[in-house]
Structure 1
Amino acid sequence: METALSSTRAIPVHPGLPVVGNTLSYLRDPLAFLRGLQQQYGSERMVRISVGGRLTTLMLKPEETKQVLQENNRNYGRGKSFAILREFLGNGLLTSDGDFWRRQRRLAQPAFHRQKLILLAETMISEAVAWAERLETMDRQKPVNISAATTDVTLRIVTKTLFGSDLGSRSSDLGRALSHLNHVANNAVINPFRLPKWVPTPDNRAFEKARREVDQLIFSIIETRQRTGESHDDLLDMLLRATDDETGEGMSDAQLRDEMVTLFTAGQETTATSMAWTLYLLAQHPDVLARVKAEISTTLGPRDRPSADDLRAMPFLSQVINESLRLYPPAWVMSRLSLGPDRFGEYMIDANQGVLLSPYVLHHDPATWPKPDQFNPDRFAPELMKDKSDRERHPYSFIPFGGGPRLCIGNQFALMEMQALLTVLLHRFDLQSVPGLHIKPQPLITLRPKQAVRVFLR
């Protein structure tokens, strides 16, 4: 009788240099390195690499990714890289683990139910209209820095939907401080030789200064809300009033701070980046742009302002957004740490092993996505959502917001925001690409454009 031990094979290890392993290849071009591994080891479904002095198993296929994120999710905690994010974001939904995370998720989930989001949709639409009006005043003979423009409008939207209109001029201060924290965190992610935070380097000092500013602003907002007891139709109000069904307790001020910083940063950074990529792609593909504009025009008719119902009534616009998220997923890689052993067919992972999951790799797997570098929103047309054998695509072949219990809590918020901004902008403007502009992705904490995205607005 065959034993479990005899049926186990060693996970293939990608060769590297002495001491540093694959670290230099990974740092030189992470995306190309990971896709090269997918091409070389795709039939093995996983491969071990050595980055930063630690062996990590990279999952290359959706089935194994689903096992980590969903089927056996309790066996996997946050990876080592989340320690950097925890310094930045605190112990919020993105960085926490275990029972604490489950409690926080229960408390926060009602704020993101569909009916609550519909209340916030009007804020998104109003800000989108004001944004388009600001763009109309610009010199349209020159290309517009659409990266900066999307950063501006998403900052306004996330400020109003999280904190309401009472934040006033402090929104720019908060945005600037959080942007600096994000910048330092990005530097830490790409620098494996970062000095500890207690060493008074210029980056560490600036980080601490920005974090103090963030804490002062957010704690003062929380204190004002608690003191006045006023109601607001925003996410802070919903979280302040949330109580745990099991214990009847709410969030502490520190927990509120961490969740607000997490939601603010994730809501602003990822949506601004995804918007910039989507507008870049549309400007590069006038045939797709014409189809989107026709759908928007048909849906809105003579109106110049969409409703929340309109945003859900444009399937091709949703296809465009999905295809943009496929090509440039904001969360391009995720790390996990195995808490116990786990079996994947013939392979075993022991406890305390690093695991790497990459939406970018899954989204560019030619076995699922023919011509994976091509922008083709029709991939997401209902009639084309099957492979050559007429099977439904594996749900984990497309995971721009993660998967399983830790699926991004703000995924529907982000999609609705992008729908509102694109609908208003494309109803008023035509886009034209800047000749010769070719932008490569820069894999930091999120997958950003390596340079400013510029387009002509006509």
Structure 2
Amino acid sequence: MPTLPPGPRFLLRHMHYLVLPPTSVFLGAVLVQGLGGVRLPTLAIVLAYLLSFPFFWLGYRAWRDVSIKRAAAARGAIVLPLAKLTKDIKFTGEEGYPRDFLFRLCEIWGHSFMLELYSVERLFTSEPEHIKAILATDFDSFEKGELFRDQMQSLLGVGVFNADNELWKFHRSMTRPFFSKDRISHFENFDRHATDALTQVKARMREGYAIDWQDLISRFTLDSATEFLFGKDVRSLSKGLPYPPTADVRHSQPEEDGFAAAFYEAQMASARRGRFQDVWGLTEFWKDRVIPYKAAIDKFINPILEDALRTKAEKATADVVDTKEVSEEDTLLSSLLKVTDDRDILHDEILNILLAGRDTTASTLTFAVYRLAEHPDILFRLRQEILSIVGPSRRPSYEDIRNMKYLRAVINETLRLYPPVPMNSRSAARDTVFPSTTTREPVFVPAGTTCIYSVFLMHRRKDLWGPDALKFDPNRFLDERVQKYLTPNPFIFLPFNAGPRICLGQQFAYNEVSFMLVRLLQQFSAIEFVPEVAPESMTPPGYTNSPGSDGTDRVWMGFHLTGYAKGGLWVKMTEATNE
């Protein structure tokens, strides 16, 4: 059944706001003229109709503010202050340092406050205790919510990341058995695609050109994820690597991978809706901007899904008994088919897991290599650990990766400064209270409030991580700072969320990132960051003049559903000798 376009859907959902004010004026005019016998001038009635909307809105806001303050007082809590944007602190989209305005507001208003955008108030927090309540201790009081589901419906459908309550529990129970230890440490898949990727890097380095590591690693994770999930990869690496924009024009660029491009554009279109909050539907009134890209994604997914459903039907017809246990040979899709044959649920679930499996690891590997390029001393130490444990050519095992403590520290420090999902949100399902912190009394959260929380900001707080919080230093996960900061308050580090909705693929991601970094540094001894070969990747003037930066940032960070490097991450690498 086709759904309405975003604009009409928005109007229907908010019809009571559109109908109630003029209806009240109409009934009032009828009463005055009927009971009082007074004929009101037409101009006065028209003027009353027009003014009814702002007066109704102001009256509603005043009533709601009073109600919230009374409810907060009854619970012994406070109402958070409304942070004000000024001429010096303006809402920034993607043109400057990511969320610079939030860093600046936190300096004035603290780490939790109300923020009004497009006349709608939102609660913002980067307080560990508040995020802990949202994700764990008060989990049942929060949900993804109607607004998030509406914004993401055309991309995520009814998948696990867009579901609440019983539907979310169903998706979670379907997917959890697949992410067993044996499966996430099955490295043949990683090795095959890593070999393909790094062979292409060597060929390009020998030509003398930089590569876009972000593009390469996104293809690697896409091919790995689609093979892992479906048993069939999209072979995006086979398209070849792009040359730098400043390269000799005689070099033709490879054909763009349609699936990967559509996947990226669909996420960008979905993420833009967050800027407009509730009114996003008015910006796409008659046409959902995600749908054209979703068609290209479905062109790949649907044939695989139809083939799997047909195979299941054929087995049922032939009376072949299919065990419900997830076996070593099963893909995610075949394991899901053991639970349901609902086409929509299957489609949306594998798309949701594909999004997580591809983009989060690609983001981490992108920024890990950026930081290794910027810190040759860290790269050297990490490479020495790899060579001492694995050697220059052997494929790493699960035990090898577990024994590389500095590798894990480098990955954790990357996840701290560049969490794959920098911003997230929940909606309060009922009135609740955030616990007090060292700087704030208990906070009242009314039902229906959208709560935006940012681990990106929390991970960069100096009061939580020390005066060097903005510095990339893997040693903070190995030295006395672990006991000083992290052990007493583990919720200051949440790259994979926490609580019942913690990322099921967390260990899979650690394994994939670790495996690729090992293979990379076995074969390359140095990395150089060269953004000048792609002018669109160069950071704008004043980029590092942000409370969130230590002044050394040269990569232009962007956020859609996950973090990425704008314009790519262009690097040159030195191939290792037989040392």
TM-score by length of 1: 0.87
Give the whole-Å Cα distance in 2 for the aligned partners of 1:429 and 1:170: 20
Aligned to 1:247: none
Q: Note the C-alpha offset of 1:444.
A: 2.1
Higher relative contact order, chain-length normalized (CA < 8 Å, sep 6+): 1
Say whether residues 1:379 and 2:490 are aligned partners: no
Aligned to 1:246: none
Cα deviation code 1:151-206 (max 9, x no counterpart): 111111011111114877999654444334224323434466554667147x4562
Structure 1 residues 28 and 424: alpha-carbon distance in aligned structure 2, compared to 1, 3 A threshold: closer
> Equivalent of 2:309, from 208, 223, 232?
223
> Equivalent of 1:283, from 362, 373, 380?
373
Say whether residues 1:151 and 2:232 are aligned partners: no
> Equivalent of 2:570, from 436, 450, 454?
454
Aligned to 1:126: 192
Aligned to 2:362: 272
| Contact persistence 1:23–1:50 (CA under 8 A) | no
Give the whole-Å Cα distance in 2 for the aligned partners of 1:356 and 1:455: 34
- Matches of residues 47-446 of structure 1 in structure 2 within 5 Å? 47-79=113-145, 80-119=147-186, 121-140=187-206, 141-165=208-232, 174-190=259-275, 193=280, 195=282, 199-200=286-287, 203=289, 206-207=292-293, 209-210=295-296, 212-214=298-300, 216-227=302-313, 232-241=329-338, 243=339, 250=340, 252-301=342-391, 303-344=393-434, 345=436, 346-370=442-466, 371-381=468-478, 383-387=480-484, 392-434=487-529, 438-446=554-562
Q: When the two structures are aligned, how many residues end up with a matched partner?
A: 440
Give the whole-Å Cα distance in 2 for the aligned partners of 1:167 and 1:7: 56
Q: Note the C-alpha offset of 1:302.
A: 5.4
Hey, which bits of structure 1, 4+ residues long, moved more than 6 A?
Answer: 166-171
| Partner amino acid, structure 2, of 1:257 | H
Give the whole-Å Cα distance in 2 for the aligned partners of 1:228 and 1:303: 45
Cα deviation code 1:250-284 (max 9, x no counterpart): 35222111111011122112211221111011000
Q: Note the C-alpha offset of 1:368.
A: 1.4
Q: Which is further off, 214-223 or 5-14?
A: 214-223
Give the whole-Å Cα distance in 2 for the aligned partners of 1:442 and 1:204: 19
Structure 1 residues 40 and 386: alpha-carbon distance in aligned structure 2, compared to 1, 3 A threshold: farther
Secondary structure at the residue paired with 2:91?
Answer: helix
- Unaligned 5+ residue runs, structure 2? 1-71, 239-256, 316-321, 437-441, 533-553, 575-579
| Partner amino acid, structure 1, of 2:470 | D
Give the % identical residues.
25
| Contact persistence 2:125–2:453 (CA under 8 A) | yes
Q: Note the C-alpha offset of 1:227.
A: 4.6
TM-score by length of 2: 0.70
CA-based RMSD? 2.9
Q: Note the C-alpha offset of 1:436.
A: 6.9
> Equivalent of 1:14, from 52, 73, 83?
83
Q: Note the C-alpha offset of 1:106.
A: 1.2
| Partner amino acid, structure 1, of 2:166 | D
| Partner amino acid, structure 2, of 1:108 | T
| Partner amino acid, structure 1, of 2:564 | R
| Contact persistence 1:124–1:157 (CA under 8 A) | yes
- Unaligned 5+ residue runs, structure 1? 244-249
Q: Note the C-alpha offset of 1:386.
A: 2.1
